[in-house]
Every structure is written in structure tokens, then in C-alpha cells.
Amino acid sequence: MNKKQELLLVALVLILAVGIRVWGLDYGLPHLYDPDEPVFVEHALQILQTGDWNPHWFGHPGTTTIYMNAFLYRVIGGVGTALGYYENWGEFCYTYYVDPTAFYYSGRLLIALFGVLSVLLTYLIGRRALNKRAGLIAALLLAISPLHVYFSRLIRTDVEMGFFSLLCIWFCLGVVKEGRWRDYILAGVFAGVAFCTKYPAAMAVLVIALAHFYRTKRDGLVDEAKEHLKLVGAAGSWFVGAFAASPYFFLDFGTAFEYVKAEARPTHLSATGGGLWSNLSWYLQEPLTKALTTAGVVLAIGGLIYLFIRKREGKDRGTGAVLALYPVVFTLFISSLSLRWDRWVVPAVAFLCLAIAAFVDALAESLQARAPKWGFALAALVVLGLAIPMGINSAVEAREFAGDDTRTIAMNWMLENVPAGTRILSEVYTPEFSSTQYEYYGPTGDGTIYYKSAASIGLDYYIPQGHLGTVSDTQAILDQDIEYVLFSNIYDRYLAEGTTYADRVANYEALFAMGDIVFETEAIEGKSRGPIIRILEIRQ
């Protein structure tokens, strides 16, 4: 493959990565259907409005994402004001409370950009540690991986963390190959930035240490104290990178530590883990199978083994282990936690694509030596066998993102059939309405019902919160003259863990007994997405 062919193929892969990620990027807007996106948007906006750069939220810690959004919004607001779209900065900020589309769409574009850059960086790492062919295979698989594409459309931390982890490993390859101070320092910096994007990226420091000891042992430098100073430099630069990305994680460590403890909570509805091996099995069979297909997971495991045991001489010795260690320790770490989420494994997907590419490329080389006419052709068939179902699944999901959400469908039904001013009780993940369209009631954590007046909402739209399964006093609904109750799939999630949440299931069923389901909708594969929505009319 000559240089022009290489550049053309890389460009085609990147165009594919961009196209599949921006398809459906306006999902749900102006409604806020993802529960986590507002965390990163609203804290960024709060920083700009108050001038206080302490986000006061360190859940992931997510500071990198929050700060990047803040800078992005500052640029958009400044340009919009200069061009006359807004009279001043305050007017731009106020638009969030009327229609937040500009904030969320631009934030999603930023995450999509990190997704595409991850594809490019995967190619570069593959070319450096393996060869051009393997780099292209890995980049193609990541470009269309359904799990990676899905989370490249939402303002969350996982794709960004994966990008910074890739940058760290890029410089770790420099450590094991060349051992320059620059590689040590930048590997440490980006490991720190990755950590301040999401905590599990702390596993990257193990790769820096492995790269160091591979090189010093290979080059006979184990007893050279000045060489070990470079590892100390990497540790110091980790703190520099982490502090630069999240200074208040250190300056307000008491608050940050409370969030760390909250992240370590033992249970969560639909996300409670079952221990290390149970969680690892789940990640392999569920999110990673979605990301890579079943055959892809098998090939990735084979590729990791191959990278650990392959023999290379000179400066390439140890590069395979450096490439394979991070996804192994990272996946084992998240599997050891109390909870499990499909998005947690997203940063490992790029490295698993590299492992697949390494295995397929090695297989092709072996077959080519035995059957020159068929070796690379059979390898190409293997890649197509993975890429076609992955691409189809990503396209189907993109169509769902571009279609109507179940909450939008239910909202339209309500607007057509339920008069303005009606008293409604709703829970999280149900439709959002204009703050003045209805009289809104919601459940509290202690089982009572609260009333949200239009004046207290603070937005021009109402976002339901809480779980109706906490409501045990059905008489309170009658006392408040509530006429409609809107349910999401929270009931179904409690029902799936009925032995643990029998009281919540009983509360839901008592509510269902109070009236009749007059409308119900659920997602249709390839057309729409969203939770099941049920609308109950109370029998008075």
C-alpha cells in the first residue's frame, strides 16, 4: 500500500466515523431525554454564570467534560453576541431555560469529535505497534462499533476518557521504544487527564510502569538510577495533568471524596453487580458483544493473548504487552466494582479493536505463507464478517436516534387528548411539557407527593423526577384531584428484580388499580427509541 492509498483509506474510515456519529445527533431535542447529560451541561453553564470554577460535582469526576463544555459555550456565546444573535452574554445564557438545543447539540458534537479522533488515534497506534494494515482494521472496527458510536452521541465522559487513555498508551509505546523524557512526561500528563475525566482511567499508570520496566530490562538499564528518575517524572506529571484538568478535585478534596464514596455505592436499580466473575461474564456477553459481536469478542481475547506472547526483537520488544495490558486491567477493575453499566467498558473498545486487528493480521501472515493466494483474502473475509453486522447495527441504532422517542409520542398524545391545566402526576423518564401546560405533581423519596408550580420550575419546561414506586398512599392522589398518572419503564425495572423490590412493585400495582391505561407506547427497533410509557386515567 503506497502513501496515497493509505491516506485515502484512512480518510474513508474517518468519513464513515463522522457520518454514523452525527446521524441522529439531535436526538430528543429540545427535550432532555438522557438523565446524565444535564449534569455536564448545567455545571458548565453554572461556571460561566457565576465565575466560580469549582464545579461542586465530582461524580466521575467528569471535570474535563464540564470544563470543555464551559469553554465551548463561552465561544458560542461570544461569537453569537458579536454577530448580533444575542444582545449580550446574559441573553445567551437565558436561552438555556427556554430552548437548550444549542447547548446540548454543540456538546454532543464535541463528544462526537472525540469519538472520531479516537478512531484516528487507534489507527496511528495500530500502525506504530503493529503495521498499517492492522491499524486500518482496528480503526474501521472502532468507527462502526455500535457501543462506541452510541456513546459518541451523548454528553458523557466515557468516549473522552477513552481518547485520553489512547493518548497515554501512544506515549507509553514511546516509552518502551525510545525511553525519552518527553514520552514519560506526556504519558503521565494524559493519564492524569484521563483520570479526571473518569476514575477507572487510574489503571493507565500500570501501563506506564510496565513500559518502563520492559525497556530498562531489555536495554540492561535496570540498575541505572537516572533511568528510574523518568518513572518518577511520569508520576509527577500525572499530578500535573490531573491538577490542570481538575484543580478543585484537590483543592476541594473533601467534597470530591464524598462523591468517590457515592460512586462506590453497593446497589443501583438494574445495575447491581454480582461480583468480579459475574460482572466480567456480563461485560463479555452483553456490552462487549454489542460493541464487537460474539465472534469479535472471541477474536479480541485471542488477540490479547497473542499480544502478550508474541516475540519481537529490538525496540519493538514489549510493545504488544503494553498494548494489551490496559484493556485487561481496566476491564478487570470495572468488573470488580459493585455496580455494572454498559458505558463503563467503552474506553476498552478501541484497545479490543486493536487486539482483533493484531490477531487477524497475524493469522493473515501465517495463511499467506502457506497459501499465497488465499491468506489475505481469508483475513479480509473475517474483517467483513465482523464489520457488516457491526455497521448494520450502528445504522439501525442511528435510525432510532433520528426517529421519534416514545416520550415525544406520548407527549403529542397528551397535548391532543388532555386539556391544559389538568393535574398530572409523573415520574422520571416520562414526557416533558411546557411549564405552564399542566399542573405538575411528582413523587418524593419518602413516598409523599409534591406540587411543582410554574414559578418554582425555573425553566420553560418541566422535567419529571422520582419514582412512583415510592408512593404508598394512593388516597393522596385522590385528595389532590390528580386526573392522569404517567409511568415510564421504572416499574418494569423494579419488576425484573421483584424479590429485592417487592414493596415498590406492590406500590406500582396499587397505582395501576386506581384507573385505566388509556395510552401505552414502546420503542420499535430501527424506528424509535425510549422507555415504555403508560398513561393512566384515574377513576374518580
Place of cell 474501521: 140
Q: Residue 170: how many CB atoms within 10 A of its CB?
A: 18
Q: What is the CA radius of gyration of the chain?
A: 26
Check residue 519 and give left, alpha or beta (phi > 0: left; psi -120 to 50: alpha): beta
Task: Identify the helix (H) or strand (E) that includes residue 377.
Answer: helix 375-402
Average pLDDT, rounded, for the chain: 92
* Residue range 330-384, pLDDT digits in tens: 999 999 999 999 999 999 999 999 999 999 998 888 877 777 767 678 888 989 9
**According to the model, what pLDDT value does residue 326 have?**
95
Mean of pLDDT values over 79-88: 89
Residue with the bigger pLDDT between 261 and 511: it is 511
Cell, residue 96: 438555556
Residue 515's DSSP bridge partners are 538
The predicted-structure confidence for 400-415, as pLDDT tens digits, reads as follows 999 999 999 999 999 9
* Range of weakest confidence among 174-188, 210-224, 280-294: 210-224
Cis, bond preceding 30 (omega within 30 deg of 0): yes
pLDDT tens for residues 445-502? 888 898 988 777 777 889 899 999 999 888 888 989 999 999 999 999 999 988 889 9
Segment 194-211 shows an average pLDDT of 94
Q: Are 173 and 319 in contact (CB under 8 A)?
A: yes
CA distance 280 to 266: 17
Q: Is the pLDDT of residue 262 over 90?
A: no
**3-state per-residue secondary structure call for 382-439:** HHHHHHHHHHHHHHHHHHHHHCCEHHHHHHHHHHHHCCCCCEEEECCCCCCEECCCCE
Omega before 146 within 30 of 0, i.e. cis: no
Smallest CA-to-CA distance from 395 within 116, 112, 20 is with: 20
The string over 420-429, giving b where at least 16 C-beta atoms fall within 10 Å of a residue's C-beta and e elsewhere, is eeebbbbbbb
Determine the Cα–Cα distance for residues 36 and 32; give it in Å rounded to an integer: 9
Model confidence at 200, in pLDDT bands (50, 70, 90)?
very high
Mind listing the pLDDT tens digit for each residue in 15-67?
999 999 999 999 999 999 998 999 999 999 999 999 999 999 999 899 999 99
Reduced to 3 states, what is the DSSP secondary structure of residue 339?
A: strand
CA distances from 189 to 66, 103, 169, 410, 424 (A): 19, 29, 11, 47, 51
Q: Which residue has the higher pLDDT, 1 or 343?
A: 343
In 271-284, which positions are buried (b, 16+ CB within 10 angstroms) versus exposed (e)? Answer: eebeeeeebbebbb
pLDDT of residue 198: 95
| pLDDT at residue 329 is higher than 90 | yes
- CA 433/CA 462 separation, integer angstroms: 6
| DSSP secondary structure letter of residue 316 | G
Question: pLDDT category, 227, cuts 50, 70, 90?
Answer: confident
- Average pLDDT of span 142-165: 97
| Three cell numbers, residue 75 | 465561544
Cα separation of 10 and 284, whole Å?
29
Provide DSSP, 198-234. BGGGGGHHHHHHHHHHHHHHHTT-TT-HHHHHHHHHH
The H-or-E segment that residue 520 falls in is strand 515-521
Q: Is the pLDDT of residue 168 over 80?
A: yes
Is residue 271 very low, low, confident or very high in pLDDT (cuts 50, 70, 90)?
confident
Residue 34 one-letter amino acid: D
Q: Hey, CA dihedral for 416, 417, 420, 422, is it positive or negative? A: negative
Which pLDDT score, from 0 to 100, does residue 314 have? Answer: 67
Output the pTM of the full model: 0.93
Whether the CB-CB separation of 285 and 271 falls below 8 Å is answered with: no
Compute CA distances 482 → 97, 310, 410, 430, 451, whole Å: 27, 68, 18, 16, 11
Asked if 186 and 175 count as a contact pair (C-beta separation under 8 A), the reply is no
